[in-house]
Structure 1
């Protein structure tokens, strides 16, 4: 048997990536592999969505009538043995093996040699790939190695098909009842009409499509190119001489590429051939990028990435212009889509959004954080769900159980309505705690501050009893603006927030972009953005932006006196030194201009492990510390919380994170620095138990969660929690930590998948 080449494997993977229909994908796999490996049979078995059985999903060589019918338990037969043992099996005479199970409808008796490998994706069994032949000897080692390589390459693609179940059963019929599991995004229950949010396509996701109106497509592409050109001109001009030389040159390169006759001409040629604008754009950008990659000159090679960035910008403009104007119905909506952004939510009246369902994302993606902040139930990563096929259907977003329920029957619908009513009454009952302190039963008081900046209206925190703002995200106005906001525009916004909370403290974080927070008008393309140009690094390299922001904040504070500046992503002593100098100079300059501003307190966020280790050297330049638990966890564990391949490993109760938090608390006590903690950890009831035990007396969380966490704190004794903390120090994993804390949460009525109960003394308004 001739050994196939790796280029042949690449060809298979690329062809499958271009195929849409699940059955066609699987048919292509077995057909191409049988031809490449010159074998009699190639078969693909996939796990059923409930992982109870293996089904013959596609075959070349066995009876076609057996597809979808041949069924084995996970430990039944040779295929079942491979699934159970997760190991390769290579036999010379399969029917003679004791584990062999004959399935009559497959007609496989003539085939003796058998080679099967498991398909594994993210530690999960997807199925089994098998080849068979008539000879009575095992397959050569080269064939075994090749099939293992094929399986590793295809497992990711097949995982998506396997989880959706479209290969196994008919697509859920419109109007039929079904539940779809996902990941917890934000707690709560929401019910409403499924409203599809426009997809955010990448250039790679564009598929072939025709047009019957070429003139309209040409006009659309011309307008999109002109809009991108205006974006670039606006971004470059706004920064002017303060733009770093390399970025200034990048803007110029982008403009040259946009104005290139080849770009427009090639796109128009494709449109004349019958392609629609996005497909014409993709083909043109792909061709031009490949030409750059083939160049010998390193500079020209590097331009391939630039032309792809240009193509994505043009596509974004096309999609925004193509989107039909749809009037939102005046009823409760469950927004559904791949990922739903701040800009998406801004298009709908907030009172109509009763839930969010995302087919991508993780528990700590920004969509989930946003939903938590707004008090909207959200379920993330619902892979099996295809919302585009169920527009207008009745949908329930169950944030407690991390599932969405499609077209629930009348009895279930009534039960959910009852639970939603109960939850609303429970939240109304918590309103009586608004002006009560968050104090444990043995007298330990915790200040509960709010995170804000996601909404123009900063008052929800006040309505729910916030004692100030622990984190004002100043980047949000930058992200939803169409260019860098001016000092005066920022001043007006900051003044409203400071005024609303005065005299309560407001910690305003300076611009924190980079990582997964990008500005639409200032493209930052990096191989590893989380370790790149983000936070204070970006601000110090763009001093004009930083100075404008500091001046706006100082001016906004003049009549309020409650501003505290917070600096993100500090990792070096010279960064906080430089920042402090900029603040001092801005105070001096504004005072000379006749504006009586004061020097505010300056704090830094501990998100990068180096900041934790350098705390004694950083202390002379700061007045307080705020721990960004999301990023600190991400960097300590080396886990990208937005990467579905590893997001399950992200947990702020990991023993290493707990050790770090104890060390930070102890160092801050020694140095006399006030310390608070913000991020999703402050809303996690299990984490709150340990934070109180460690001595954290200031937490910053979403306004919606403040009453719930206050109720929890008022139900606990810190002394009892301290002995619990001692036990967690012996735990080896976050699972052990959570198991240890679960009984305590149960005792105060905060069990798994349950909302807490209002204690009798609080329900009656008594202390």
Structure 2
């Protein structure tokens, strides 16, 4: 056998060139049989239910057996490998007691046998087997090579194995399920309607011009066309959108008119680039700043920049969207990304769901879908909408699933669930102005998280009692220089005014590490433990003082500002921050600005802050627990790393111990404390925190009604024995199982009924 490294590289390259999943499996067994010079190479995959192994591809055994040979886990030599998750290398397979002869395979002539399990993120994907006629074990070198190959192939085969598309030889209109990312909860059914893209921005190639003046004129005309298009779209959707959510169009207008965009493109045209190529480079530069961010919210903002760039390109190249009369029936819109302006082109009453191959739960598409009550599933990487045009589709936003061509029984079950869900949410609307108070009188304040003015209305419409976390990074990341005090003032004032007199906790700039700015490069090996948050802003005092002054001035007439400091790990950080605020107040008052001293809070995200609370107390007025980062640092798990993200769980016993410790410390120190992050939207986690005694949660706007219903439906005293039991448990899944029956009993319409849909499918 050749060098293991070179042969492995050759195999990986061959697979990378194979786009079709079934062809990919055939390539694997064919290339491996050649590289290892064996008579047989076979790939067995677990069916999606993980209860049997199916022969998915082979070179050497009968091809008629593919898709038909099935083995139970622990049945035969292949089943033994799957059950034991260990390699098996034997000289004479038929002589082994565990051997099971399957006539369809015609494998009676083969003696030597070696198989290795395919495991991805602790899950069994399948088994890879090689066989030969010689009665001798494979060498140690060959065994090591096959183990190495298996470790590389498991990840590549993971999505294919889960999809189940390889199990059947039926045509593309067969019943299929695709798993994505939750964009907006709810269920919808309809015909799949693909939102066809124009020429994509990333398809633009380098080009020069012969007339800079003409190129600039074309570019500016395209800007004007897009501005008019946005204005028209805002008008069409406006009366359907709840209040200021129309500001999403304003956000696009702001990007459209930003000096960075216009001046950047014109500068490149002056350098010789044609308008399309200049536009692509500028848009990619602006979007790249957000792509580099560790914060998923900020990362999602790159989509907005690319959306506006795509719109300009469409006009620039004069590729008008083909006008096609949409059918008068419910539609599921599909595409790589669906922007708010795409939505405005369809009759809103016909849109029953959105499926996007790109995007995330923090995309503007998801924000709008939440506001409009349209179920949405994002990040469906393995769904090709073009293959399923016009087919019946179910969008299950509760489980982040897209179901193509569902059986009649499954479709009927989902239709019943849709009616149940509609009644459920109609009942929730009655709770908007009701307090989040348990049956035995324990009152909880529900706040919302936001980052743009456009996010404000969903929180207000759903009964938010204020903003628990306002992310202030956006103005800094859409500029090519630090925004001025006046620029920040205008933004902050609108946010504070939207919520007045409700409190708004504005987090100071959380930049640094991998959140790159074009005008302040930071390169670090470990950004999670690097120059970010309060460390960065204290080291750049003028920047911090400018932001503090803008926030203080924005508070004039609103009187609802609270300042929140991120990533605190030391006492001297909070002491220094408070001094800066006090000096800014004094300075502004001397300038004639009637500012006031706001409450100052700190985010507990770093474990050291949790342990230093008594020493930090003199410098703070309240505490906000950043549950996402606190969990990440306590468990040493990067939640964005797919290899370990399954280990990230805010119900981990260590996290719960930390939460109880923080609450006790804050009670002793008379410090109000709130929890923000994904934990505040998790019904089970809410019950746990309710039992602990937390009285303030900050969560996504869409989840406020459900969490309010949950709180209003329980007795806190009845949760206390469950909390005692939870303290004795050692695994987060056991803790979740302890509280889940209560959640199911209260929130059953949009959640647990889905299990019925599963059974209806089989």
Quick check: TM above 0.5?
yes
Give, in whole Å, the separation in 1 of the partners of 2:341 and 2:642. Answer: 26
| Secondary structure at 2:685 match in 1 | helix
Shift of 1:713: 1.7
Q: Tell me, yes or no, if structure 1 residue 631 matches structure 2 residue 629.
A: yes
Q: Contact conserved, 1:372 with 1:702, CA < 8 A, in 2?
A: no
Pair 34,604 (structure 1): closer, same or farther in 2 beyond 3 Å: same
Q: Is the 1:30–1:59 contact (alpha carbons within 8 Å) kept by the matching residues of 2?
A: yes
What is the deviation of 1:448? 1.6
TM-score of the superposed pair, with normalisation by structure 2 = 0.76
2:49 and 2:476 mapped to 1: Cα distance? 45
Q: Distance in 2 between matches of 1:540 and 1:371?
A: 39
Partner in structure 2 of residue 561 of structure 1:
559
Distance 1:179 1:481, change over 3 A: farther
Pick aligned residue for 1:436 from 425, 428, 434: 434
Moved more, 185-194 or 667-676: 185-194
* Alpha-carbon distance in 1 for matches of 2:365, 2:86: 39
Give the secondary-structure state (helix, strand or coil) at the position aligned to 2:735: helix
2-structure distance, mates of 1:354, 1:543: 50
Rounded Cα–Cα distance in structure 2 between residues aligned with 1:705 and 1:499: 23
Q: Does the 8 Å CA contact 2:48/2:162 hold for their aligned counterparts?
A: yes
Aligned to 2:456, the other structure's residue is in SS state: coil
Does 156-165 or 478-487 show the bigger shift? 478-487
- The CA deviation at 1:346 is 7.3
Alignment match, 1:272: none
Taking the TM superposition and a 5 Å limit, the aligned residue runs for 1:639-678 are: 639-678=637-676
Q: In the alignment, which residue of structure 1 is the partner of 2:548? A: 550
Q: Tell me how far apart the structure 1 counterparts of residues 480 and 343 of structure 2 sit (CA, whole Å).
A: 19
1:28 deviation in Å?
3.1
Q: Which residue of 2 aligns with 1:765?
A: none
Give 1:78's aligned residue: 77
CA distance in 1, matches of 2:409, 2:570: 59
Paired residue for 2:107? 108
Aligned equivalent of 2:738: 740
User: Residue in 1 aligned with 2:679?
Assistant: 681
Q: How far 1:663 moved relative to its partner?
A: 0.4
Residue 117 of structure 2 corresponds to 118
Q: What is the match of residue 502 of structure 1?
A: 500
Deviation (angstroms), 1:662: 0.4
**Which segments of 5 or more consecutive residues in structure 1 lack a partner in the other structure?**
210-215, 231-254, 269-276, 282-313, 757-767
Contact 1:375 1:705 in 2 (8 A): no
Q: Is the 8 Å Cα contact of residues 453 and 495 (structure 2) preserved in structure 1?
A: no
* C-alpha distance in 1 between matches for 2:192 and 2:137: 54
1:617 alignment partner in structure 2: 615
- Aligned equivalents of 1:428, 1:702: Cα separation in 2: 19
Structure 2 runs not aligned, ≥5 long: 220-263, 285-304, 755-762
- Which whole-Å CA distance do the structure 2 matches of 1:619 and 1:682 have between them? 24
**Is the Cα–Cα contact under 8 Å of residues 712 and 748 in structure 1 kept in the other structure?**
yes
Looking at structure 2, the residues matched to 143 and 697 of structure 1 have their Cα atoms a distance apart, in angstroms, of 61
Structure 1 distance, partners of 2:722, 2:185, is 26
* Partners of 2:477 and 2:139 in 1: CA distance: 57
CA distance in 1, matches of 2:307, 2:747: 48
Distance change in 2, residues 1:627/1:35 (3 Å): same
Q: Deviations over 1:159-194 (max 9, x none)?
A: 2332334444347624x5444355666532234554
Residue 565 of structure 1: SS of its match in structure 2?
strand
Aligned to 1:53: 52
* Farther-moved stretch of structure 1 (546-555 vs 390-399): 390-399
- Judge conservation of contact 2:371–2:458 (CA < 8 Å) in 1: no
Distance 1:619 1:123 in 2: 43
Partner of 2:706: 708
Distance of 1:489 and 1:638 partners within structure 2 = 38
TM-score (norm 1): 0.75
1:466 and 2:464 correspond = yes
- TM-aligned CA deviation for residue 679 of structure 1: 1.6
CA contact (8 A) 2:184 2:369 kept: yes
Aligned to 1:160: 159
SS of equivalent residue, structure 2 residue 454: coil
* Residue 533 of structure 1: how far off its partner (Å): 4.0
Match of 1:591 in 2: 589
SS at match of 1:219: coil
Encode CA deviations 1:368-396: one digit per residue, 9 max, x unaligned. 89977886544466566433433454433
CA distance in 2, matches of 1:173, 1:181: 17
Matched, 1:539 2:537: yes
What displacement does 1:603 show? Answer: 0.7
> Mean alpha-carbon deviation: is it higher for 404-413 or for 96-105?
404-413
String of CA shifts for 1:274-297, please: whole Å, max 9, x gaps: xxx99xx9xxxxxxxxxxxxxxxx
Closer, same or farther: CA 701–177 of 1 in aligned 2, 3 Å: same
Deviation at 1:655, TM superposition (A): 1.0
> 1:25 & 1:408 partners in 2: Cα distance?
27
Corresponding residue of 2:725: 727
Partner of 2:230: none
> Aligned-pair RMSD on alpha carbons?
4.4
- TM-superposed CA distance for 1:626, in Å, is 0.7
Would you say 1:219 and 2:207 are equivalent positions? yes
Q: Distance in 2 between matches of 1:697 and 1:536?
A: 27
Matches within 5 A, 1:170-189: 170=169, 173-174=172-173, 176-181=174-179, 186-189=184-187
Residues 514 and 531 of structure 1: is their aligned pair in 2 closer, same or farther, counting only changes over 3 Å?
same
Q: How far apart, in 2, do the equivalents of 1:4 and 1:125 lie?
A: 28
> Structure 1 residues 449, 558: CA separation in 2 closer, same or farther (over 3 Å shift)?
same
Aligned residues: 664
Give 3-state SS (helix, strand or coil) of 2:618's partner.
helix
- The Cα of 1:637 is off from its aligned counterpart by 1.7
**In structure 2, the residue corresponding to 1:433 is in which secondary structure?**
coil
Separation in 2, partners of 1:364, 1:99: 51
Question: Relative to 1, partners in 2 of residues 1:717 and 1:364: Cα closer, same or farther, differing over 3 Å?
Answer: farther
Matched, 1:29 2:17: no
Q: Residue 384 of structure 2 aligns with which residue?
A: 386
Tell me the distance in 2 between the aligned counterparts of 1:482 and 1:378: 33
Q: CA 1:753/1:459 → structure 2, altered by over 3 Å: closer, same or farther?
A: closer
- Counterpart of 2:404 in structure 1 is 406
For each residue in 1:473-525, what CA deviation from the matched residue of structure 2 results, as whole angstroms up to 9, or x when unmatched? 22345556687544333322221221222222111112334678666897766
CA drift of 1:595 comes to: 2.0
Alpha-carbon distance in 1 for matches of 2:77, 2:401: 35
Cα shift at 1:134: 2.0
TM-aligned CA distance change 1:33 to 1:538, over 3 Å = same
Distance 1:321 1:526 in 2: 35
Tell me which of 450, 453, 469 is aligned to 1:452: 450
CA distance in 2, matches of 1:170, 1:521: 55
Structure 1 CA distance, aligned partners of 2:710 and 2:521?
43
Contact residue 191 and residue 332 of structure 1 kept, 8 A: yes
